[in-house]
Amino acid sequence: MDLWYTEKHSENVGITMKTTKTLFSGKSEFQQLDIVETLEFGRMMLLDGLVMVTERDEFIYHDMIVHPALFTHPKPKKVLVIGGGDGGSIREIMKHPEVELAVLCEIDGLVIEKSIEFLPSMAAEIDGTNPRVKLHVDDGLAYIRDHQNEFDVILVDSTDPIGPAVGLFEEGFYRLVFSALKDDGIMIAQSESPFYHAAIQKKMYQNLREVFPLVEMYQAFIPTYPSGFWSFAFASKTYHPITNFDHDRAAKRKFHSRYYNEDLHLGAFMLPTFARENIAK
Ligand code: SAM
């Protein structure tokens, strides 16, 4: 019998994938966690039934949530990831030698535990063996309150604005992030799909603009996310993602990135009109 996983992106549209095996299925105090084998996308993590990461296309999301900020900030020494329990963002951050410490603040320890067990290609750097990585199992909303003027870059690698992540899209949280950043800090947040989530984006970018002097959106193609057209918010105290981008450092990077490159960095900030108009000031 064929087993198909389906995620509905709207009432009448979704994605469906043939799966072969369930590797883990369990409920934490925050959410349902499933890790399944798929025929075409490798292993896939689901939280409350929604696609979080697949082995085949996670490189796109993790390249794009990490590298644009770390090649724009001139000296990103201390980086915080809120969410990101699969470890993919930390893996990419570790490729930047100037980063002295990456802190992961993930609310659900079960996500970390099962990512280490079943998704080693993503979770390699969060297994406790890397001295440049520090793990916290905590609500990002609580953690951020205790840290002022501490981080060069903060990445909000969260689930959608439902359940434990609702507060991570609010103005109050962005104010806390602003004060946790140094005076030239940058915040990146996954900001959903311009095609399916216009209302969420409009509110999110309004909230960001209440707090940060510089807010831009950039895009990436992620086949297993709703519509495949995904976005990230670049919120900055001083640096601009294009004029302050260190093209040379990005071009001379010592690692191979299958999605990100120094030319795509520039192109990603060019948006289709409907997406740009929806978040305009
Ligand atoms: N790439 C995925 C996406 O764009 O939806 C995100 C993947 S990562 C697994 C999302 C993580 O955010 C989850 O592990 C979830 O537990 C975590 N999370 C949700 N709300 C959180 C909060 N308030 N504080 C810290 N982590 C949170």
Its pTM stands at 0.97
Confidence of residue 2 (pLDDT cuts 50, 70, 90): confident
pLDDT at 97: 97
Res 56 pLDDT > 90:
yes
Does one domain contain both 21 and 122? no
Does one domain contain both 7 and 115? no
User: Which residues lie below 8 Å from residue 9, measured CB to CB, with a gap of 6+?
Assistant: 15, 196, 226, 227
Residue in the structure block whose two tokens are 């510089």: 214
Cβ neighbours around 219 below 10 Å, total? 20
Helices (H), 99-257: 109-118, 120-123, 140-143, 171-180, 198-211, 247-251
| Pairing assessment for the beta strands 101-106 and 229-236 based on DSSP bridges | unpaired
CA end-to-end span of the chain: 52
Q: Looking at residue 11, which CATH number applies to its domain?
A: 2.30.140.10
Task: From 53, 71, 89, give the residue that closes a domain.
Answer: 53
Task: From 35, 53, 71, give the residue that closes a domain.
Answer: 53
- C-alpha–C-alpha distance, residues 174 and 113, integer Å: 28
Across the chain, mean pLDDT equals 97
Does one domain contain both 177 and 251? yes
Q: Which atom of ligand 1 is nearest to the CA of 164?
A: 20
Does one domain contain both 151 and 31? no
pLDDT at 267: 98
105, two tokens: 């603040």
User: b or e along 105-139 (b: 16 or more beta carbons within 10 Å of the residue's beta carbon)?
Assistant: bbbbebbbbbbbebbeebbbbbeeeeeebebebeb
Does one domain contain both 69 and 159? yes
Ligand 1 pocket, residue 219 CB under 6 Å: no
Ligand 1 pocket, residue 192 CB under 6 Å: no
> Quick one: angle between helices 198-211 and 171-180, nearest 10?
40
Confidence of residue 1 (pLDDT cuts 50, 70, 90): confident
Q: Look at the chain and report how many structural domains it folds into.
A: 2
| pLDDT digit string, tens, across residues 107-119 | 999 999 999 999 9
Does one domain contain both 15 and 142? no
User: Which residues lie below 8 Å from residue 27, measured CB to CB, with a gap of 6+?
Assistant: 33
Q: Looking at residue 233, which CATH number applies to its domain?
A: 3.40.50.150
Does one domain contain both 160 and 234? yes
Query: For residue 103, how far is its CA from the centre of ligand 1 (angstroms)?
Result: 14
Does one domain contain both 30 and 62? no
Q: What are phi and psi of 14, to 5 degrees?
A: -160, -170
Ligand 1 site-directed mutation target among 158, 177, 224, 230, most atoms within 8 Å of CB = 158
Does one domain contain both 28 and 66? no
Does one domain contain both 47 and 80? no
Does one domain contain both 45 and 176? no
Shortest-distance Cα residue to atom 1 of ligand 1: 52
Does one domain contain both 202 and 267? yes
Query: For residue 108, how far is its CA from the centre of ligand 1 (angstroms)?
Result: 8
pLDDT at 189: 98
Parent domain of 18: 3-53
